[in-house]
Structure 1
Amino acid sequence: MTHDPSNHTDLDPGTARHLHHLLATEQRRGRLPSVAAGIVRGGALVWSDAIGTVDGRAEGVASDTDTQYRMGSITKTFVAVAVLRLRDAGRLDLADRFEDHVPGSRIGGATIAQLLSHGGGVQAETNGPWWERTPGGDWDALAFSPVAQRFRAGRRFHYTNVGFAALGELVARAHGADWFDVVRRDLLAPLGMTRTTTRPDGRAAPGLAVHPFADVLLPEPEHDAGAMAPAGQLWTTVEDLARWAGFAGGDTGDVLSRDTLAEMYEPHTLADDPGQPWTAAHGLGWQVWNVDGTRYAGHGGSMPGFLAGLRVDVESGDGAVVLTNTTTGMAPVTTAARLLTDFAEREPLTPEPWHASGDPSVLDLVGTWHWGPSVSTARVVGEHLVLGDPGTARGSRFAPVGADEWVGLDGYYTGEPLRVLRSADGIPTHLDLASFRFTRTPYDPTADVPGGVHDGGWR
């Protein structure tokens, strides 16, 4: 059974047919009992589809975009946002040791930032039986099992489910409430995500394993993971997860500042496999990718019986989500990436019209400046002063922070101060950028160049 892909307004029918074909091909190739997916643009679900039946049988009930699936490790992104909200409220610092907030465990020396980015060296899984298939205990049972560090904190990337169980405990202790009660109150409710729960609720797909050598199915167990729940417990629908993709694309509402979201996307630890070129990293709770210069963020999810993927283009805000009820058989983040790429190619964003919006009061800063004999051009784009070409050499944008004071936004000069120095009659004479002196002519002797300018001048 299939969902009709033609009922999407404002979407070219050819695009809908192509995406439907892509999803149907993936369902057949991967032998997926069911798969549901969606595309988000401008914070809204603009395309969705579902293929297959929830129990994998021809006569079964068809999946749809309101069918719950387990999202697995995408759960970690919700925990991470809850942690960053605590930071933004002044309740903690990312450089704090975990021990400062949850004392007594053997992983207490790792910082909160290291746990968020899988850089704390914490062991990947629990010491007990396969936690994804067995009911979980409380935090004390987990923390004193004993949990250990496999690597020196800060040394390298080492994915850890236990680390996010720890962060869930931190959130719970900071609020004096269960971690999911905090997520539901502070994240899900404001975003209208009413179908995201810790256990299946209402219409839900069962977790299934497909035999590798025969077309037969095996139900997977479902349970409460206890203290490990923050690592992968949540269930959701395409419609709800699409709202989270809209959030990830920048439609954060009052839940989180866009500056904090951008901070979460900054790479902290590289997913570095020996012999392979790296294109993926982990930020603060989010996976991030750099594909041919385009930045993406999101996360994958895997639990027995379920796979999930979420991926957004950081610049455009477009996103894709994929949910399926099988233990193996597809790479959901890769499928989300393919849907997103094909959608963008067939439905390109129309550029916003240009309008004059510049500030004439900063016109005296534009034009040619010199760093020693090196030539740079300054221009004003919107509210930013742009020196050189951002992304090339030391080119950077600068945001105003005061009268004749700016701060760098890109590359080498990110966070560095730029001051405009003026003559008595108010004409800019030079720029002081992180102690470097930019002058209107190469090594202008009247501009107080550090180290002085040779008395003989140019020769």
Structure 2
Amino acid sequence: MTTWDEELLPATRRALTHRIAVAQAEGRAPSLVAAVVRGGRAVWHGARSSVDGHGPDEDVQYRIGSITKTFTAVLVLRLRDEGVLDLGEPLEKHLPGTGAGEATIAELLAHTAGLAAESPAPWWERTPGSLRPELSDVLGEKPPLHPAGRRHHYSNPGYTLLGALVEELRGAPWEQVLRDEVLEPLGLHRTTAQPEAPHAGGWAVHPWADALLPEPLEDLGRMAPAGQLWSTTGDLARFAAFLVQGDDRVLSAESVREMRTPAAPAEPADVVDGATYGLGLQIQHRDGRLLAGHSGSLPGFLANLTFSVVDDVAAVALANCTSGPLLGAVGADLVRIVAEAEPRIPEPWRPLREVDPAVLELAGPWYWGTHPFALRVRADGLLTLGPLTGGGRRARFRPNGDGGWTGLEGYYAGELLEAVRRADGTVSHLDLGSFVFTRQPYDADAPVPGGVDVEGWRGIAQP
């Protein structure tokens, strides 16, 4: 892990304070709190308030709305990792009779199950959850609006189903399972389903006057797994660090990486914005930076959690107003300010501990047809293969233990890379998902598909 300086530079801290001050003033938020995480710990906290001398700190709760969905997704991934379910299984296998059981668990996580965005009227965010005591009350008479798996259509009822799935398989209420399996292990003692003092009150700000109206604070009941939670910048900073690094007590680094891997087709408007969705996490490209996280809103509250894995920086921003400050932009800007002002210091280069001659033999240039590629052997035990010049397909490969390697990303994700040897043990070529890579372009001594012209390379005869 990168060794960071203990504190941010004064100029960086001032730029962060300026950003949230502008957001609170221009967004007319009664209060706005924020935190920045670097190297796995909170390194800055800021607050702006309309009440003099009453700046909320990192222990004050705000309602976090749909960031709750990320917590629910963690619970579902835990069940998958334990072998209790498979993400490709239909919901009906584990939770029958919902009317939406043909959708797979993965589709529900990625909002591609085709379900409606909201529950039937009245508006669930401003009415008691007791009005919707059963799943049928949440889903309505005809749950699917679109064919499952065809498009990303954000669905709050979809995450209600996932919460019910957790309850069914764990035999305990969603809130209790969340407390036992996620909140307590990660030390998120100020994240709760019901507000606990000190907490902010939720307000609506008049669009044309500097006046306030209190918003109702409803218990969402069955809809709780989609948006019930209250939390603090202190707790969400720790949760953000978990989403970057993983924690084997809750979810491995590999599983949280899967959460932030795109799993849903982008809508046309999202393509322009460079946004998509993983498994419980929103993903976007912004200012040349890949960001993941989640936004949240309920009447009286706005929330955002944003992080960049490459920069090892995360940001949390919370406000107690129904609309106003654009916290998605605030979170992205807080990450950008730190990443640009104090860029991540790379880990020291270190050589391999042991050199395997059979693997080292594969290093160097290879040709796919006439395209030159380079294969490198890394100190972490992986191989990388990518074009020597310009853009093109590149990937890392992990060893399978049998002499083969499996691609980890991009076009070659899941594809098998093998070194094919001749009878005398020398390497003839690389086979990558049926593509033949040779030491020379169109090497006549390798089994190049379609064969190689027997006359070999030549020039063009001049008349």
Q: Under a length normalisation based on structure 2, what TM-score does the superposition of the two structures give? A: 0.91
SS at match of 1:241: helix
Q: State the number of aligned residues.
A: 448
Alignment pair present for 1:75 and 2:68: yes
* Alpha-carbon separation, structure 2, partners of 1:377 and 1:212: 58
Q: 1:87 to 1:275 in 2, by over 3 A?
A: closer
Tell me how far 1:303 sits from its aligned partner: 0.2
| 1:330-368 deviation per Cα after TM superposition (whole angstroms, max 9, x unaligned) | 111211111111111222222222222365322211122
Match of 2:101 in 1: 108
* Alpha-carbon separation, structure 2, partners of 1:145 and 1:372: 57
Query: Partner letter of residue 444 of structure 2?
Result: P
* Alpha-carbon separation, structure 2, partners of 1:122 and 1:145: 10
Query: Partner letter of residue 429 of structure 1?
Result: S
* Alpha-carbon separation, structure 2, partners of 1:380 and 1:48: 41
SS at match of 2:99: coil
* Alpha-carbon separation, structure 2, partners of 1:9 and 1:364: 43
Q: 1:26 to 1:398 in 2, by over 3 A?
A: same
* Alpha-carbon separation, structure 1, partners of 2:117 and 2:322: 19
Tell me how far 1:10 sits from its aligned partner: 1.9
Match of 1:247 in 2: 242
Aligned partners of 1:271 and 1:278 also within 8 Å = no
Tell me how far 1:424 sits from its aligned partner: 4.2
Q: After the TM superposition, which residues 421-440 of structure 1 pair with which residues of structure 2 at under 5 Å, given as runs?
A: 421-440=420-439
Query: Partner letter of residue 354 of structure 1?
Result: W
| 1:367-418 deviation per Cα after TM superposition (whole angstroms, max 9, x unaligned) | 2222233322222222222222499322222221124311112321111111
SS at match of 1:365: coil
Q: CA RMSD in A?
A: 2.1
Match of 2:340 in 1: 345
Tell me how far 1:327 sits from its aligned partner: 0.4
Q: After the TM superposition, which residues 177-326 of structure 1 pair with which residues of structure 2 at under 5 Å, given as runs?
A: 177-274=172-269, 277-291=272-286, 293-326=288-321
Aligned partners of 1:124 and 1:158 also within 8 Å = yes
Query: Partner letter of residue 16 of structure 2?
Result: L
* Alpha-carbon separation, structure 2, partners of 1:82 and 1:281: 21
Alignment pair present for 1:395 and 2:391: no
Tell me how far 1:445 sits from its aligned partner: 3.2
* Alpha-carbon separation, structure 2, partners of 1:144 and 1:210: 31
Tell me how far 1:276 sits from its aligned partner: 6.8
Alignment pair present for 1:118 and 2:117: no
Query: Partner letter of residue 76 of structure 2?
Result: V
Aligned partners of 2:63 and 2:231 also within 8 Å = yes
Identify the match of residue 138 of structure 1 among 118, 121, 133: 133
Aligned partners of 1:43 and 1:251 also within 8 Å = no
* Alpha-carbon separation, structure 1, partners of 2:63 and 2:366: 56
Aligned partners of 1:127 and 1:147 also within 8 Å = no
Tell me how far 1:455 sits from its aligned partner: 4.0
Match of 1:414 in 2: 413
Match of 2:42 in 1: 45
Alignment pair present for 1:380 and 2:405: no
Aligned partners of 2:119 and 2:139 also within 8 Å = no
* Alpha-carbon separation, structure 1, partners of 2:447 and 2:197: 73
Is there any run of 5+ residues in structure 1 with no aligned partner, and where?
1-7
Identify the match of residue 33 of structure 2 among 33, 36, 40: 36
SS at match of 2:177: helix
Q: 1:34 to 1:43 in 2, by over 3 A?
A: same
SS at match of 1:50: strand
* Alpha-carbon separation, structure 1, partners of 2:134 and 2:77: 21
Query: Partner letter of residue 87 of structure 1?
Result: R
* Alpha-carbon separation, structure 1, partners of 2:166 and 2:106: 14
% identity of equivalent residues: 48
Which stretch of the first structure deviates more once superposed, 114-123 or 260-269? 260-269
Is there any run of 5+ residues in structure 2 with no aligned partner, and where?
459-463
Aligned partners of 1:311 and 1:336 also within 8 Å = yes
Which stretch of the first structure deviates more once superposed, 28-37 or 363-372? 363-372
Query: Partner letter of residue 381 of structure 1?
Result: R
Which stretch of the first structure deviates more once superposed, 39-48 or 359-368? 359-368
Aligned partners of 1:270 and 1:280 also within 8 Å = no
* Alpha-carbon separation, structure 1, partners of 2:223 and 2:40: 31
Tell me how far 1:64 sits from its aligned partner: 1.3
Aligned partners of 2:23 and 2:326 also within 8 Å = no
Q: Under a length normalisation based on structure 1, what TM-score does the superposition of the two structures give? A: 0.92
Tell me how far 1:241 sits from its aligned partner: 0.7
Q: 1:16 to 1:455 in 2, by over 3 A?
A: closer
| 1:284-328 deviation per Cα after TM superposition (whole angstroms, max 9, x unaligned) | 111001235532110000000000000000223310000110000
| 1:428-447 deviation per Cα after TM superposition (whole angstroms, max 9, x unaligned) | 22112112222222333333
Aligned partners of 1:165 and 1:231 also within 8 Å = yes
Tell me how far 1:71 sits from its aligned partner: 0.3
Q: 1:127 to 1:12 in 2, by over 3 A?
A: same
* Alpha-carbon separation, structure 2, partners of 1:388 and 1:124: 41
Query: Partner letter of residue 438 of structure 2?
Result: T
Aligned partners of 1:119 and 1:158 also within 8 Å = yes
* Alpha-carbon separation, structure 2, partners of 1:264 and 1:276: 20
Q: After the TM superposition, which residues 323-334 of structure 1 pair with which residues of structure 2 at under 5 Å, given as runs?
A: 323-334=318-329
* Alpha-carbon separation, structure 1, partners of 2:396 and 2:135: 49
Tell me how far 1:272 sits from its aligned partner: 2.3
Q: 1:293 to 1:144 in 2, by over 3 A?
A: closer
